[in-house]
Amino acid sequence: MLTIRNLKKSHGGNVLFENASMQVNYGERVALVGPNGAGKSTLFSIILAKDEPDSGTVERDPWTMVGFLPQEAEAVGDETVLDIATGRATEVPLLEKTLRALEAAGTVDGPEYMEASAKHEALTNPKVDAKAKKMLAGLGYKDGDYERPARTMSGGWVMRAHLARLLVMEPDLLMLDEPTNHLDLVSLLWLQAYLKSYSGAVLLISHDRQFMDEIVENVFEISERQLFEWKGNYTAYLEQREEAYERQNTAYKNQQKEISALREFYDRFRQVASKASQAMSKLKQIERMELVEKPIAPRKPFRFIIPQPVRSGAKVVAIENLHMAYGEFPVYRGLNLDIERDERTVLVGPNGAGKSTLMKIIAGVLAYQKGECRLGLNVKLGYFSQHRAATLDPEKNVLQEVMDTAPTLAENEARGILGSFLFRKDDIYKKTSVLSGGEKTRLNLIKFLVDPPNLLLMDEPTTHLDIHTVESLILALQHYEGTLIFISHDVHFIRKLATKVLHVNNGTVTPFPGGYDYFLEKTGGFGNERAALTS
């Protein structure tokens, strides 16, 4: 289906990869992994013919239909959500224009015409509206959303509509760049189940470890300018890579010992007449060796000691008979809830159920109509939302923000923490005013970790973090001696941290006093997980 041979690509004088080869066959599910900046998205662009390699070839079966989901949504006008999901807003007119141009040029037998024709047929099928609504519902849309103008919705919701369009087309090769970034847990589980039974091939870039473990059967890693293939899911890849490193490292050390012994013999006896020829043979033996390269150790999660906050009272949050509504739309009626000290609570439930609303009420940033929400004795609260850019001083640089947050922190420690969260070299001297949304999110996260409150509220903290940085965050929070309440769509993150699950839906909050697997056990296991979250 897709074959890459001996690809080389440089950017700004820096070689991203060379002699890179890979193959994706029909029906395969493949992940492309590697650190940020390794060239994953660039390789996607080359496959899609949006970028040119320095050398090498990309070969695709001529009848293969390819669908691509980028990380960011396209600009939208007055089209509705359903217009995007069916493609009639922009995709169908563009395909019709392409088909007319190819017909006029007399190239109706070429692969470009065949692919455009297949996409046009899929999006003009009489049943396309029903199919699009099914996909949109799976991705979290409600019936009343289909005719809403897309420009009135967030970029994340627009991305879901574009994803729905791709699923409607059912391309032979589905290329997804960070598809889970804008999904809540329920829609992620739906997409995960859908892709596991998808008839076409899937090639994805993702920072969601559990998502890859459930879906992929083959991993290609961009590392040290090379492309390496590993069989199995993401966890299998990690295990194999560690084993390969240990084998090569052992071989390297053994060879270095041998070389050292041979060179020592040469140096000792080269001027001894009776052994000079024997010494020279040792030197030639070294020269004939095929040298084992010293392997690069696999990147490990960064470990640092998180400062421990002042201990709070036993009851951290007490909610009594709370009523909350947005206008005429009730969210909670008579809610009663207690959060105890040291609990690590994850809020799960469908989109719009009230998870973020509950967190904002506890944080004191959202008013409610009736009842009471009290914080306990000595509670110092910190709220990490996804919209915290306003808390940064635009005149300070990244390092100053961290050092001013924790004045007792040594500068080398601050640099280490910043590096683990992808702020490297000159990045730490950037003014916060020029940071991207993802960089601002990561910087705010660091500020919480270096000076943590004893009640930490976190809404989707892993967004914009790569897998290794997520692991570093998990390690830090596992040693955090405060109370944690969080929302996440990263199942691996939830499994590692949650000791209590609150299922939020239809104004009801149901506690499950155990981890995520306990929640699954009580709600029927993975097969019924989505039903449990939406019921």
Closest CA to 249 of 287, 298, 282: 298
| Model confidence pLDDT, tens digit, residues 386-398 | 665 567 888 899 9
Mean confidence (pLDDT) of the chain: 91
- Shared domain for 213 and 281, answered yes or no, is no
Return the structure tokens found at 463: 């967004």
Q: Is 498 inside any structural domain?
A: yes
In a domain, 309, yes or no: no
Q: Which residues have CB under 8 Å from 127's CB, separation 6+? A: none
Query: What is the radius of gyration, based on Cα positions, of the chain?
Result: 27
pTM for this entry: 0.86
Closest CA to 208 of 529, 507, 464: 464
Shared domain check, 169 and 46: yes
- The pLDDT of residue 533 is 66
299 within a domain of the structure (yes/no): no
For 27, 69, 86, 91, the CA distances from 80, given in Å and listed in that order, are 32, 19, 10, 14
How confident is the model at residue 262, as a pLDDT? 94
Report the pLDDT value the prediction gives residue 416, as an integer from 0 to 100: 87
The answer as to whether 182 is a domain residue is yes
Residues 276, 339 share a domain: no
Same domain, 233 and 252: no
314 residue type, one letter = A
Q: What is the count of structural domains for the chain?
A: 3
Beta-bridged to residue 348, according to DSSP, are 503
Q: Sorting pLDDT into bands at 50, 70 and 90, what band is 160?
A: very high
Q: What is the rounded CA–CA span in Å between residue 350 and residue 315? A: 28
Distance, CA of 19 to CA of 8 (rounded, Å): 6
Q: What is the pLDDT of residue 525?
A: 61
Report the candidate in 489, 488, 491, 484 with the shortest Cα–Cα distance to residue 516.
491
- Of 238, 231, 184, the C-alpha closest to 209 is 238
Parallel, antiparallel or unpaired: strands 508-512 and 315-326: unpaired
Task: Specify if 294 maps to a domain.
Answer: no
Tell me: do 345 and 493 sit in the same domain.
yes
- Same domain for 85 and 195, yes or no, is yes
- pLDDT(298) > 90: no
What CATH number does the domain containing 379 carry? 3.40.50.300
Q: What value does the mean pLDDT take over residues 294-318?
A: 89
Give the contacts of 524 (CB within 8 A, at least 6 positions apart): 531, 532
Tell me if 348 is assigned to some domain.
Answer: yes
179/260 same-domain check: no
Gap between the Cα atoms of 227 and 245, Å rounded? 15
pLDDT band for position 439 (50/70/90)?
confident
- Asked which of 177, 207, 237 is the last residue of a domain, the reply is 237
Residue 364: both structure tokens together: 């004191």
Do 370 and 280 belong together in one domain?
no
Select the more confidently predicted residue: 468 or 222: 222
Residues 283 and 333 in one domain: no
What is the percent of the chain with per-residue pLDDT over 90, rounded to a whole number? 67
- Alpha-carbon span 396 to 443, nearest angstrom: 12
Q: What is the dihedral of CA 348, 349, 354, 360, to 10 degrees?
A: 20
Q: Which residue range(s) make up the domain with 199?
A: 2-237
Q: What is the pLDDT of residue 535?
A: 62
Angle at the Cα of 234 from the Cα atoms of 230 and 235, rounded to 5 degrees: 105
Domain assignment present for 399: yes
- Mean pLDDT along residues 102-130: 91
Q: CA 99, CA 91: separation in Å to the nearest integer?
A: 12
Euclidean distance between CA atoms 475 and 304, whole angstroms: 8
Alpha-helix runs per DSSP H in 29-178:
40-47, 81-86, 91-104, 111-123, 128-138, 155-169
Phi, psi of 70 (to 5 degrees): -80, 175
Residues 421, 478 within the same domain: yes
Do 219 and 274 belong to one domain? no
Question: Between these two residues, 13 and 222, which has the higher pLDDT value?
Answer: 222
Element (H, E) at 6: strand 2-11
- Examine the pLDDT at 315 and tell me if it is beyond 60: yes
Higher pLDDT, 388 or 10: 10
Distance CA 64, CA 88 (A): 22
**Which range has the worst mean pLDDT, 268-282, 411-425, 450-464?**
411-425
β-pair partners for 125: none
Does one domain contain both 282 and 330? no
Who has greater pLDDT, 464 or 414?
Answer: 414
Q: In this predicted structure, which of 89-93, 153-157, 202-206 has the lowest mean pLDDT?
A: 153-157
- With respect to residue 242, please indicate whether it lies within any of the assigned structural domains: no
The 3-class SS string of 419-444 reads HHCCCCHHHHHCEHHHCCHHHHHHHH
**Mean pLDDT, residues 481-500 taken together:** 95
The residue-averaged pLDDT of 164-187 equals 93
Question: Quick one: tokens of 241?
Answer: 């890579």
Are the beta carbons of 382 and 448 closer than 8 angstroms?
Answer: yes
Kind of pairing, strands 29-33 and 14-24? unpaired
SS3 463: coil
- How would you classify the pairing of strands 66-69 and 226-231? unpaired
* Residue carrying the six token digits 């421990």: 308
